Amino acid sequence: MPRWYVPTPHPYRPHRATWQQPLHLHLEPLWRELTPALGALAGRVVDVGCGHKPYRELMGPGVTAYVGVDHPDGDADADVRAEAHALPFDDGTFDAAVSFQVLEHLREPARCVREMHRVLRPGGRVVLTAPGVWPAHEVPRDYWRFTRYGMEALLRDAGFVDVRVVAATNRSLESEVAAGRFRQDLLFRLKVGVLKVPPLRQRPEDIAVLSRHFARMLGASLSDEVVLRLQLRRWPGNVRELRNVVERAVMLSGGAAVTVDLIEEDEREIDPRATLPGPEAAPSMRVVDGKRLLDMPFQDAKQFAVENFEKDYLLRLFEAAGYNLSEAARRSGVDRRYLRELFKKHGMEPSTLRAQRKDDDE
């Protein structure tokens, strides 16, 4: 009989640092796609080819039981040892089935997909990932690469009806076509809409929001000094690396305040072009897109400084006024309606800020 596990907060695991290795960096766009998909899963979930369960943490609170299945041989953290094409479960046992980067290693991937369909209840959900273009890995057991049409055919042949296929990569497919490693006709079929996300080091505002979000998920908070230090790092591993650093710092803090020394494990990650601003630093020393304002054209630097002054002023003013808009208007000498428009200009809603503050206090 399989061992059933009720979800518990997942501790930091050193092996996740492998996401920063070249091979695993190809998975980061996929990680972004999987985050909302796995967070929406609920009920009993089976993970076929679970390995060391790196995706377990993305599953939301609705998951009531989780079983990791992997090959009888190997060092995986499996709860059940079995072949992917012969799962030891009754029909309809699970509400969802997941499998990540496994199909390419199976001689008969279609048998695995049919088996996952069998153990799902009617209306159950499956989340699968497989490489389209990826370097050879875990050789010699690396047999297949899949187009979106191949994945769709596998799923429909197994009995799945509502199929959605997402193709994600962090490579330049145009360069891959030029090098002869990717088919041009397939690129034209895939390139319906293009969304380019700059690297995290070019989005310091996002670093502040994301780091505080990750800390809040663990019941902790980050000081302005810690956030500013995080904004000075290069982040070659992007969001995944940022999350790991925050999780490690919170764990090492032992429930106390997170301090700067807990996030400075590797000083080589600090951008040598950046200057750390103290609480009294002038806006001219701030870092944006990896550059100081003094390194930017005058008009760009001026616009950035003014916009950030307004936003910082509004946040500090609102906090000092006890998150009361009328009191903030009185203190600033600005009309209440105009003050609300300033908040709206910077993408902030006073009621939302007030609710977030209440949640943080609780």
The answer to whether the beta carbons of residues 326 and 340 sit under 8 Å apart is no
CA angle 267, 272, 274 (to 5 degrees): 110
CATH fold label, 297-362: Arc Repressor Mutant, subunit A (1.10.10)
pLDDT confidence of residue 297: 72
- Residue closest to 102 by CA, chosen among 158, 53, 159, 142: 142
Give residue 25's pLDDT band: very low, low, confident or very high (50, 70, 90): very low
In 130-279, DSSP assigns E strands to none
Identify the residue with better confidence: 159 or 184.
159
Range 14-190 classified under CATH 3.40.50.150: yes
pLDDT for 341 beyond 90: no
Q: What is the pLDDT of residues 303-316, one digit of tens each?
A: 777 777 788 888 88
Rounded Cα distance between 127 and 119, Å, is: 14
Instruction: Give the DSSP letter string of 52-102.
Output: T-TTGGGS-TTEEEEEEEE-SSS----SEE--TTS--S-TT-EEEEEEES-
pLDDT confidence of residue 349: 87
- Residue 196 amino acid letter: K
pLDDT for 138 beyond 50: yes
pLDDT confidence of residue 346: 81
Q: Which CATH architecture has domain 200-277?
A: Orthogonal Bundle (1.10)
Q: Which of 73-87, 105-119, 312-326 has the highest mean pLDDT?
A: 105-119
Section 264-278 average pLDDT: 45
β 94-100/80-81 pair status:
unpaired
pLDDT confidence of residue 79: 93
pLDDT for 283 beyond 70: no
Rounded Cα distance between 7 and 43, Å, is: 11
The answer to whether the beta carbons of residues 116 and 49 sit under 8 Å apart is no
The answer to whether the beta carbons of residues 131 and 146 sit under 8 Å apart is yes
Identify the residue with better confidence: 361 or 18.
361
Whether the upstream peptide bond of residue 140 has omega within 30° of 0, thus cis, is: yes
Name the percent of the chain lying above pLDDT 90: 20
Domain ranges of the chain: 14-190, 200-277, 297-362
pLDDT confidence of residue 277: 40
Identify the residue with better confidence: 284 or 73.
73
Rounded Cα distance between 314 and 309, Å, is: 8
pLDDT confidence of residue 9: 37
Alpha-carbon distances, residue 94 vs 39, 126, 263 (angstroms): 16, 10, 40
Q: What is the pLDDT of residues 32-69, one digit of tens each?
A: 677 788 888 999 999 999 988 888 888 888 899 999 99
Contacts for 8-14: CB closer than 8 Å, 24+ residues apart: 9/218, 10/56, 10/57, 11/251, 12/244, 12/247, 12/248, 12/251, 13/52
pLDDT confidence of residue 275: 39
The answer to whether the beta carbons of residues 212 and 230 sit under 8 Å apart is no
pLDDT for 183 beyond 90: no
Give residue 81's pLDDT band: very low, low, confident or very high (50, 70, 90): very high
Section 130-154 average pLDDT: 82
- Residue 124 amino acid letter: G
Alpha-carbon distances, residue 245 vs 39, 182, 249, 262, 353 (angstroms): 21, 35, 6, 9, 26
Backbone angles phi, psi at 254, to 5 degrees: 60, 30
Structure tokens, 333: 């000498």
* 87-96, 285-294, 309-318: least confident range: 285-294
pLDDT confidence of residue 16: 38
Residues 75-94: b if buried by 16+ CB within 10 A, e if exposed: ebebbbebbbbebebeeebb
- The mean of the pLDDT values for the chain is 77
* 32-46, 70-84, 144-158, 251-265: least confident range: 251-265
Structure tokens, 327: 């009191």
